[in-house]
Amino acid sequence: MRPRSPAEPAGTVALGAWMAFAVLSAVVISDQGPLFPDLELLSWSVGHRPPVAVAVARGLTSTGTGAVPYVLAVVAGLIAGRSARQRLVAAALAVACLGTGQAVRLGVMDLVARARPPRYDWQTQASGWSFPSGHTTTSAVTAGLLILALCLRTPRGRTALCLLAALWGVGVGLTRVYLGVHWFTDVVGGWLFATGWLALFVRAVARWLPARFLPRAPEPGTPHPSGPADGPVERDAPQDPHRRGRSRPA
């Protein structure tokens, strides 16, 4: 049986994520203040800030913006491609997905115009509106690109690498609440936006890009390029090539 392409369920995932994001955005717009879990989680964060934890959170949150996500997006493209052309196209598409997602997210932030938590609770610098969280969105899209690339190539240790990418994406989002610069619902909005955007981008690429440029998962039973070929080895075969086809003496 041929494996399902990751693009096949992308439309359904995108629809579900965008519907949830629209509902959350409507609630945030109707009530610009903090929602039910926001105050409790911010209060907990303020009360649990040893210096070491704050330093670790600042280091982790810094990886969710700037050059790091774009470098990781290029890495995802290089992992996904099987030929030089596919790697180049995949890397360009990954960077385009991240960059255009950033532009759309900034427009949504201006449209919602939600204020950040009080500045006296901040433990790092921040600017702009609060919803959806920019660091959260960026790291989640990047983590999704890495996971998608790993699933396409199916290398050894894929599960551990996918889990590491997912933990990084989730961790960056949670640091924004811990450092006091975002409400928790801003982070949830960032996760939903990233999921919807990535799924929509994958669906669009699969629909419009010619198939020869698309990296695809290997068929079942296809040996890994670096691994041994499948099939039994004839250990008792004669070593002399001139004896091939001759019957063995009784």
Average pLDDT on 71-96 reads 92
- Tell me what the mean pLDDT of segment 94-107 comes to: 96
Task: Give 139 or 208, the one with higher predicted confidence.
Answer: 139
Which of residues 193 and 157 earns the better pLDDT score? 193
pTM beyond 0.95 = no
Closest alpha carbon to 187 in 97, 116, 119: 116
Number of domains in the chain: 1
Query: Residue 56: pLDDT above 60?
Result: yes
What pLDDT was estimated at residue 6?
52
pLDDT for position 131 = 96
Does 137 reside within a domain? yes
The CA distance from 113 to 31, in Å, is 11
Alpha carbon distance 52, 92 (integer Å): 38
**Average pLDDT score over residue span 51-70:** 96
> 103 lies in a domain?
yes
Is 248 contained in some domain? no
- Quick check: is 165 in a domain? yes
Going by pLDDT thresholds of 50, 70 and 90, the confidence category of residue 146 is very high
Query: What is the three-state SS of 206-237?
Result: HHHCCHHHCCCCCCCCCCCCCCCCCCCCCCCC
Confidence at 105, pLDDT banded by 50, 70, 90:
very high
Residue 173 lies in a domain: yes
Residue range(s) defining the domain that contains residue 73? 51-209
* Nearest in space to 140 (alpha carbons), one of 201, 182, 98: 98
pLDDT at 157 over 50: yes
Q: 114-135, pLDDT tens digit by residue? A: 999 999 999 999 989 999 999 9
Mean pLDDT score across all residues of the chain: 84
Structural domain includes residue 69: yes
Mean pLDDT comparison of 3-17, 62-76, 78-92, highest-scoring range: 62-76
Question: Which of 80-94, 172-186, 223-237 has the lowest average pLDDT?
Answer: 223-237
Domain membership of residue 159 (yes or no) is: yes
Average pLDDT over residues 19-41: 91
pLDDT tier at 214 (50, 70, 90 boundaries)? low
The pair of three-digit structure tokens given for residue 67, joined into one six-digit string: 């050059």
What's the pLDDT band for 231 if we cut at 50, 70, 90? very low
Q: Is residue 176 part of a domain?
A: yes
pLDDT at position 228: 44
DSSP states of 50-107:
-HHHHHHHHHHHHTTSTHHHHHHHHHHHHHH-SSHHHHHHHHHHHHHHHHHHHHHHHH
